[in-house]
Structure 1
Amino acid sequence: MLKSYFEENPISKPDPGGSGYNFLPEGIANLQNTLANLSFGDSLIASAPILLLAASVVIIMGVLGEAFFKKTGIPDVLFLMVLGVIIGPVLGIIQPEAVLEIVPYFAAVALIIIMFDGGLNLHLGKVVKTAHFSIILVIVGFAVSVGIVGSFAHYGLGWEWIDSILLGSIVGGSSSIIVFGLVKKLHISEEAKSMLNFESALTDIFAVIVAFVLFEAILSGEFSLDLLGVTIGKAVMVGLVLGFGVGIPWMFIISKLKNAQHSYMLTIGMLFMLFFLATSFGESGALTALVFGLMLGKKNYFTRVLKIKFPEDLIDDSLHNQVTFLVRAFFFVFVGLLASFAQIEYVIFGVIAAIAIYIGRIIITKTVLVRGFSKLDIKVTSVMIPRGLAAAVLATFPLSMGLPNADAYPQIIFFVVITTVIITTIGLGGAKKIPPPESQSGGYVKE
Structure 2
Amino acid sequence: MEGVIISLAILIFLSHLFSAMFVKTRMPEVLPLLLLGILLGPLLNIVSPADFGMVDQVFTRVLLIVILFESGLGLRISQIRSTWEQSSRLTLISFVVIMCVVALLSKIVLNLHWAYAVILGSILADNSFAIIIPLISKLNITNTTKTVLLTESTIGGVISIVVTITLLNMAKIQSFDVSLIVAKIIYTFMVACITGGAAAIFWTTVLNKVRKLENGIFLTLAFVLVVYSVCETLGSDGSIGAFIFGIVAGNIRTIRKLHGFKFIERFTMNVKSKAFNDTEKSFFSEVVFVLRTFFFVYIGISMQLSSLYSILCGLLFTLVIFMARIPTVNYVLEKSVSRIDSAVTSIMVPKGLVTAVLASLIMQSGVPGGVILQNTIYSVILFSIILATLLSFFIEKGWGMPAVNFLFKRHREFYPDAIPAPAAKKVEIGHQQKHLIAKDR
TM-score range, shorter chain: 0.7 to 0.9
Residue in 1 aligned with 2:189?
Answer: 236
Q: Does 1:131 align with 2:89?
A: no
CA separation of 1:299 and 1:159: change in aligned 2, threshold 3 A: closer
Determine the structure 2 residue equivalent to 1:198. Answer: 151
Structure 1: runs of 5 or more not aligned: 1-47
Q: Which residue of the partner structure matches residue 382 of structure 1?
A: 346
**Residue 355 to residue 94, structure 1, CA distance change in 2 (3 Å):** same
The alpha-carbon deviation at position 260 of structure 1 amounts to 3.7
- Deviation at residue 187 of structure 1 after TM alignment: 6.5
- Name the amino acid aligned to 1:108: R
Q: 2:309 aligns with which of 335, 345, 356?
A: 345
Secondary structure of 1:129's counterpart equals coil
Pairing of 1:103-252 with structure 2 (within 5 A): 103-179=56-132, 188-252=141-205
Question: 8 Å contact 1:211–1:394 — kept in the other structure?
Answer: yes
Q: State the AA in 1 paired with 2:285.
A: N
Which moves more between the two structures, 192-201 or 122-131?
192-201
CA distance in 2, matches of 1:301, 1:308: 15
Code of the residue aligned with 2:353 in structure 1: it is L
- Distance in 2 of aligned mates of 1:235 and 1:136: 22
Residue type at the aligned position of 2:288:
T
Which residue in the other structure is 1:424 paired with? Answer: 388
Displacement of 1:238: 1.7
Match of 2:254 among 292, 301, 304: 301
Instruction: Determine whether 1:254 maps to 2:211.
Output: no
Q: Distance in 2 between matches of 1:241 and 1:261?
A: 30
- Given that 1:173 and 1:203 are in contact with CA atoms closer than 8 Å, whether structure 2 keeps it comes out as yes
How far apart are 1:391 and its partner, in Å?
Answer: 2.8
After superposition, the C-alpha distances for 1:216-241 in whole angstroms (9 at most, x for unaligned) are 44444431111121121112112211
Q: Is this contact kept in 2: 1:138–1:173, CA < 8 A?
A: no
Distance 1:413 1:263 in 2: 38
SS in structure 2 opposite 1:288?
Answer: helix
1:353-382: per-residue Cα shift (whole Å, max 9, x none)? 111101111221121222564555433322
Tell me the percent identity. Answer: 26
Which SS does the other structure have where 2:322 is aligned?
Answer: helix
Q: How many residue pairs get matched? A: 397
Residues 1:94 and 2:47 are matched in the alignment: yes
Distance 1:104 1:308, change over 3 A: same
Are 1:77 and 2:39 counterparts? no
In structure 2, what is the equivalent of residue 287 of structure 1? 240
Q: Does 1:266 align with 2:222?
A: no
Deviation of 1:78 (Å): 0.8
Over alpha carbons, which structure has the higher Rg? 1
Residue among 55, 58, 65 paired with 2:11: 58
- Residues 103 and 393, structure 1, Cα contact 8 Å, conserved in 2: no
Distance 1:394 1:429 in 2: 29
Aligned to 1:362: 326
For residues 365 and 244 of structure 1, the distance between their equivalents in structure 2, rounded to whole angstroms, comes to 33
Which amino acid in structure 1 is aligned with residue 163 of structure 2? V
CA distance in 2, matches of 1:101, 1:201: 29
> In the TM superposition, what is the alpha-carbon distance from 1:150 to its structure 2 partner?
1.9
Shift of 1:75: 1.4
Preserved contact between residue 73 and residue 428 of structure 1 (Cα < 8 Å): no
Moved more, 125-134 or 95-104: 95-104
The CA RMSD over aligned residues, in Å, is 3.1
- CA-CA distance at 1:181 after TM superposition: 6.7
Of the structure 1 ranges 226-235 and 274-283, higher mean CA displacement relative to structure 2 is found in 274-283
Question: Unpaired segments of 5 or more residues in structure 2?
Answer: 399-413, 423-441
Q: 2:276 aligns with which of 314, 322, 325?
A: 314
